[in-house]
Amino acid sequence: MTQAKLKIKKGDQVVVITGKDKGKKGEVTKVLPAENRIVVAGVNQMTKHRKPSQFAAGGIEKIEASIHVSNVALADPKTGKATRVGYQTLKDGKKVRVARKSGETIG
């Protein structure tokens, strides 16, 4: 089975378009291309019960679980709304990602 090429990278601003966190925005902190999933800061939070260890105190902590990449869309750099991603080759031969709605290049 081949891996799908993800158009969303670590550090991108994304908008959740479906699910329990619909409408939330956040930054991508981790990309899991083998599973087509990403981890977004402040989205899909789960509680984790940790046992105390020699180095850290135990307790209940909130962690972000992964979310499927099809449930998020890149936030347009101009408006902040959800947009699709395209590619464009610049005059110097460099290939860049482009927001489809506004035409802005993505970091």
Round to whole Å and give the CA distance between 44 and 19.
9
Our measurement of the distance from residue 13's CA atom to the centroid of its chain's CA atoms, rounded to an integer in Å, reads: 7
Residue at 106 is within a domain: no
In a domain, 5, yes or no: no
* Residue 1, pLDDT score: 55
Q: How far apart are CA 30 and CA 65, in angstroms?
A: 10
The mean of the pLDDT values for the chain is: 92
Is 50 inside any structural domain? yes
Q: Which domain holds residue 47?
A: 13-99
Q: Is residue 2 part of a domain?
A: no
The structural domain count of the chain equals 1
Query: Could you tell me how far CA 68 lies from the centroid of its own chain?
Result: 9
Assign residue 56 the CATH number of its domain.
2.30.30.30
Residue 2 has pLDDT above 90, yes or no: no
Query: Is there a domain that residue 104 lies in?
Result: no
Is residue 7 included in any domain, yes or no? no
Return the percentage of the chain with pLDDT > 70, whole number. Answer: 98
Q: HSE-up of 34 (CA within 13 Å, CB side)?
A: 0
Q: What is the pTM of this model?
A: 0.83
- Which pLDDT value is given to residue 72? 95
- Compute the C-alpha angle 13/16/34, nearest 5°: 80
What is the per-residue pLDDT for 23? 94
Would you mind telling me the total number of residues written for the chain in this entry? 107
Asked whether residue 55 is assigned to any structural domain, the reply reads: yes
In a domain, residue 4? The reply is no
The more confidently predicted of residues 98 and 1 is: 98
Q: What is the pLDDT confidence band of residue 107, given thresholds at 50, 70 and 90?
A: confident
Spatial neighbors of 1 by CB under 8 A, at least 6 apart, are none
